[in-house]
Amino acid sequence: MSQTRIDRRFAACRSEGRAALVTFVMAGDPDPATSLAILKALPEAGADVIELGMPFTDPMADGAPIQAAGLRALAAGQDLAKTIDLVRAFRAGDPDTPVVLMGYYNPIYVHGVDRFLSEALAAGVDGLIVVDLPPEEDPELCLPALAAGLNFIRLATPTTDEARLPVVLRNTSGFVYYVSVTGITGGAAPDFNAVGRAVSRIKSHTDLPVAVGFGVKTAAHAEAVARNADGVVVGSALVDTVRTSLVDGRATEKTVSAVTDIVRSLSAGIRAARAAAAE
């Protein structure tokens, strides 16, 4: 593959001596217009890479906050076609920030793989994270995505052993997403010492950046993860911030700023890790 926006962004963050902040929000949550406003505001607040959730009725890897965000989006009429349109609208004003679609295979399968890849690429999508397609199913989506020029980002977990890790990494591109806890999104904070050891182990197998997510909620968490990882992924904290900003289930004038406030805090935490390392 030729170099992608994801490759360039991680390289730029590395040249600054810091980890990248990868932010997850759900497409269409709490409504299409507010969702687009949040997307547009994320880069200025400090997001380096945006993961955009594809709403799905049965998100088996996700905890309550992301499950609720997906249901809000679905209730507002969001579907995969509208999610691709959302990326297109974002990309019209931002040619540089990488966008990764994250979710489950069912909506893509129903949409049609070839159609999905063509439309996603044309809209400005840079990569995919599809959590329920293991490496054994790479011909289903991973290999066609790579051939189309999209990064396919794979998850490694605390239970991915030395025998399994090379299989997971085989067709991974863009970055490796390390799941820092055994469980679902939005769970307990990770053991940061264990995360550091895991990142080192993964890096012994690949030159790809390693981003760490699941359980990262605060600036202090972000700072701790950024001491060892190339990227810090935060999702549940952001979508739960959307939820708490709503009144009677609807967006308020505080919804977008509530999200950007926490993103600025997380970004400051990552930069604090860089400053500490320089001392």
Cα gap 17→14, rounded to integer Å: 5
Name the 3-class secondary structure at 195.
helix
Q: How many CB atoms lie within 10 A of CB 147?
A: 10
CA-closest candidate to residue 222, choices 15, 14, 49, 23: 23
Nearest-angstrom CA–CA distance, 225 and 216: 8
Rounded Cα–Cα distance for residues 246 and 252 (Å) = 6
Q: Which of 7, 48, 62, 230 is catalytic?
A: 62
Catalytic residue at 119? Answer: no
Nearest CA to 192 among 203, 176, 178, 175? 178
Classify burial at 243, counting beta carbons within 10 Å of its beta carbon; exposed 0-12, middle 13-18, buried 19 or more. Answer: middle
Could you say which of 7, 29, 48, 51 is catalytic?
A: 51
The H or E element that residue 35 is part of is helix 32-45
**31 among known catalytic residues:** no
- The Cα–Cα gap between 115 and 97 comes to 24
**Phi and psi (nearest 5°) for 211?**
-105, 140
Residues acting as catalytic residues: 51, 62
